[in-house]
Amino acid sequence: MKPGKVYLIGAGPGDPGLLTIKGRDCLALADVVIYDYLANPVLLGYMRPDAERIYVGKSRGKHSVPQDEINQLLVDKATAGLNVARLKGGDPYVFGRGGEEATYLHRNQIPFEVVPGVTAGFAAAAYAGIPLTHRDITTSLALLTGHERPERKLSSLDWQKLATGLGTLIFYMGMTNLKMISEKLIEHGRPVETPVAIIQWATLPRQRTLTGRLDQIADQVASAGIKPPAVIIIGEVVRYREELRWYDNLPLFGRRFLLTRPYAQAAGMVALLQAQGAETICIPTIEIAEPTDWSDCDQALARLSDYAGLILTSANGVEAFFGRLSSRNLDLRALAGVEIIAVGPKTARVIEKYGLKPDLIPQDFRAEGVVEELLASGVSGKHYLYPRTEIARSLIPDRLNAAGAQVDAPVVYRTIAPQGKQEMIRHLLEAGELDAICFSSSSTFDNLQAMFGDELAKLKKATDFFSIGPLTSKTIRKHGFEVALEPAKSTLDDLVTAMVEYYKNCEA
């Protein structure tokens, strides 16, 4: 059997946006993804759904899988004819043991390719506002590991050259030996007032940056309780941080939010929040399921030409409707002459994905807005198709039918509670690690309430509840909880903008 190929992929330092396009593409074609502790698990979203995932991560003091076993695992999977993505934090060839893995693959005649990644030292400096080189300060830098094999002691380094011959020093995995590193550099001529930056969890919203003098930094780190993973940057360039810092000045930096929809559906909001510096966690409290009976929908699809308008009020409804349309061997031609009505811009964007532009998007992005604008244009004697979720309100058919229209409202999808998510959410709430939970529909809250019942009030603690709009807010309040934030318009953009203003006012 012809062996598969192994891709040694640098996952970057943590921010999923720093994965290269080539790395993303290699993940998408892999049959197996073998990933590390420092590789952001969000990147696994680029995998094929049927691909196998294997975690071999290491954390300080704990080795999940020994390196020799990882090497053999790569060979075994490739020998079985599978394409393997080996996802490693940072860059595979910068303190990532990628060279060891590549050597083992070569010796076993397994084809491989190396996909470089953004190494942690470079990214940490950029996100902390530190230029590693500057023509007014230094044009040299060195990358070093502060944690080598036991037989290769740090004391064997040429400390004289490091102290006086190089401008900027970047130590990886050096937190345990920080005091010794500082003392050695001072002993060999580095000035005690040399600035140092310690950057923990670089490029992530939990990033912490501590600066100080070379002779004091170890004590400062101990007092601040900063632990690995962290990068140490030593040199005069650190002085630029106060002028050039940008990441930890973002308005939602350091905030942590739980999104209650599946990642694929929440990706737009994830991107908006991360652009403002927030950390997002997606743990869905709903899953989308097919209706128990398609007969009403199929009957409507058989007579599409009878309808004056198609009313679509959610992205899920759009996906379900067009999916069923295709499964019945129909295409867009079946909608010729039918007015397409979208409840809001998000739903409109999903409709446009199928090659149609909505004829109507109301100013008020709710069912009320749809009804208001249709009534204003006249609906008497018209026939409308309204594909809906099982728990949708009856407002649209009730009000349009009362005005002389005829509305068919077949169920095209259901929302159900996912299994196995309760303990993940419980941990976050009990640990007090969430600033807020964002609810994008009534069902996302209903299912959370069903998970915990009366216990939710105790678990909530200081976590705020943010709502996408009035209907969701009404559901939250019905259960006795306060809504800390609701945007003026029920869109993700407006919700994120409102969140920025909310925390700005909290800090004022």
Each residue of 392-420: pLDDT tens digit? 889 999 999 999 999 999 999 998 877 77
Closest by alpha carbon to 297, among 264, 331, 323, 332? Answer: 323
Closest by alpha carbon to 132, among 190, 16, 124, 180? Answer: 124
Cα 142 to Cα 137: distance, rounded to the nearest angstrom: 15
The pLDDT of residue 266: 82
> What residues pair up with 389 in beta bridges, in sequence order?
413
Q: Per-residue pLDDT tens for 235-293?
A: 999 999 999 999 999 999 989 999 988 777 788 888 899 889 998 888 888 888 899 99
8 A C-beta contact, residue 343 and residue 395: no
Cα 291 to Cα 417: distance, rounded to the nearest angstrom: 15
- CA dihedral in degrees (178, 183, 185, 187; nearest 10)? -170
Residue type, position 414, single letter: R
What DSSP state is assigned to residue 95? S
Measured between alpha carbons, how far is residue 107 from residues 111, 112, 310 in Å?
10, 11, 62
Cα 248 to Cα 195: distance, rounded to the nearest angstrom: 19
Q: Give 67's contacts (C-beta < 8 A, 6+ positions apart).
A: 97, 100
Closest by alpha carbon to 12, among 103, 94, 100, 90? Answer: 90
Cα 302 to Cα 158: distance, rounded to the nearest angstrom: 80
8 A C-beta contact, residue 400 and residue 371: yes
User: Tokens representing 105?
Assistant: 């693959």
Task: Tell me which residues are annotated as active site.
Answer: 36, 58
Residue with tokens 């069903």: 450
Cα 115 to Cα 25: distance, rounded to the nearest angstrom: 11
Cα 460 to Cα 174: distance, rounded to the nearest angstrom: 38
The pLDDT of residue 341: 97
Residue type, position 210, single letter: L
The pLDDT of residue 15: 87
Cα 417 to Cα 465: distance, rounded to the nearest angstrom: 19
Phi, psi of 51 (to 5 degrees): -75, 150
The pLDDT of residue 205: 83
Query: Which CB contacts under 8 angstroms, 24+ apart, belong to 401-407?
Result: 403/375, 403/379, 404/379, 404/380, 405/374, 405/379, 405/380, 405/381, 406/382, 407/311, 407/383
User: Tokens representing 464?
Assistant: 């705020």
The pLDDT of residue 63: 61
Closest by alpha carbon to 214, among 187, 191, 240, 189? Answer: 191
8 A C-beta contact, residue 125 and residue 153: no
The pLDDT of residue 59: 53
CB burial class (10 A; 0-12, 13-18, 19+) of residue 82?
middle
Domain parsing of the chain, residue ranges: 6-117, 122-249, 256-286+417-507, 289-415
Extended beta strands in 400-463, E state:
406-408, 411-416, 436-439
User: Tokens representing 264?
Assistant: 């694929």
The pLDDT of residue 226: 96
Cα 437 to Cα 191: distance, rounded to the nearest angstrom: 48
CATH class of 6-117: alpha beta
256-286+417-507 against 289-415: fold identical: yes
CB atoms within 10 A of CB 156: 9
Q: Which CATH architecture has domain 122-249?
A: 2-Layer Sandwich (3.30)
Angle between helix 217-224 and helix 178-187 axes, rounded to 10 deg: 170
Which CATH number is correct for 256-286+417-507, 3.30.70.100, 3.40.50.150, 3.40.50.2300, 3.40.50.10090?
3.40.50.10090
Q: pTM for the full model?
A: 0.71
8 A C-beta contact, residue 286 and residue 440: no
CB atoms within 10 A of CB 53: 14
Query: What is the H or E stretch that residue 93 is in?
Result: none
Low-confidence ranges of the chain (pLDDT < 50): 150-151
8 A C-beta contact, residue 123 and residue 18: yes
Cα 312 to Cα 392: distance, rounded to the nearest angstrom: 12
Q: Which CATH architecture has domain 289-415?
A: 3-Layer(aba) Sandwich (3.40)
Phi, psi of 154 (to 5 degrees): -60, -25
